[in-house]
Amino acid sequence: MGGSERAEFSGKIMTKTEKADFILHELERLYPETPIPLDHTDGFTLLIAVLLSAQCTDERVNKVTPALFKKAATPQKMSKLTIAEIEEIIRPCGLAPRKAKAIFELSHILLEKHQGDVPASFEELEELPGVGHKTASVVMAQHFNVPAFPVDTHIHRLAQRWRLTSGKNVETTEKDLKKLFPKEKWNKLHLQIIFYGREYCKAHSCDGLTCPICSVVNNDRVKPILTKK
């Protein structure tokens, strides 16, 4: 969205619908392509990578998974490793004991209940050890191309700053964003927001007033915002 479109909202308090439209156009301009940040080759390796990304950066996960997937890139091979072997490899990702146990157990469950395949439903994914709603949403969106809106800390923070949600928790944020944005945009948009948060609207470099989107959608705000966690 160019200067003329930005000027349209100068001095005007924007509705949430106007904000959503502006954000969609701006993010599409900035990020027309949205490569999946976590390296993977199929549904299983994506599932494991997303599980490992909890409280860990994608960059670090991508450094760890090559060694893990070299040993075991399928549920069959992963189930033959011990929890201790998995834990040793994934230790740099943090929470290694819990994550290793979850990876070991879910690999067995995939073999026993799903013929070794990653299930294509939110309910079945969320039944797997270590797989919460956000992880399931990422797999459904990025592997199965089912509309989902995974909310991570970047999206939660930006939705607060843009005043698109009450921001009390990620569940509320997800519901509010789904109401504002077209369903067919969710899968790409959640990645675009993550990319934008990392580049322009970081936790400590924007106070809700200064980045390219905040400066437009918050044109009536005069005081910096304290982001709720």
The average pLDDT across 36-62 equals 97
| 76 Cβ contact partners less than 8 Å away, ≥ 6 residues apart | 111, 116
CA quadruple 166, 172, 174, 176: dihedral positive or negative?
Answer: negative
The pLDDT tens digits of the residues spanning 105-163 come to 999 999 999 999 999 999 999 999 999 999 999 999 999 999 999 998 889 989 999 99
Identify the CATH assignment for 43-142 out of 1.10.3720.10, 1.10.340.30, 3.20.20.10, 2.60.60.20: 1.10.340.30
Q: What are the start and end residues of each CATH 1.10.340.30 domain in the chain? A: 43-142
Please state, rounded to an integer, the average pLDDT across all residues of the chain.
92
Q: What are the start and end residues of each CATH 1.10.1670.10 domain in the chain? A: 3-34+149-217
Percent of the chain with pLDDT over 90: 81
The average pLDDT across 160-179 equals 92
The average pLDDT across 15-21 equals 95
pTM of the model: 0.89
Active site residues: 134, 152
* Amino acid occupying residue 97: P
**Architecture of 3-34+149-217 per CATH?**
Orthogonal Bundle (1.10)
SS3 content of the chain, % helix, strand, coil (to 5): 60, 0, 40
The pLDDT tens digits of the residues spanning 56-74 come to 999 999 999 999 999 999 9
The pLDDT tens digits of the residues spanning 183-217 come to 999 999 999 999 999 999 988 888 878 899 999 99
At 7 the pLDDT is: 45
DSSP state string for 163-222: TSS--SSHHHHHHHHHHHS-GGGHHHHHHHHHHHHHHT--TTT--SSSSTTHHHHTTT--
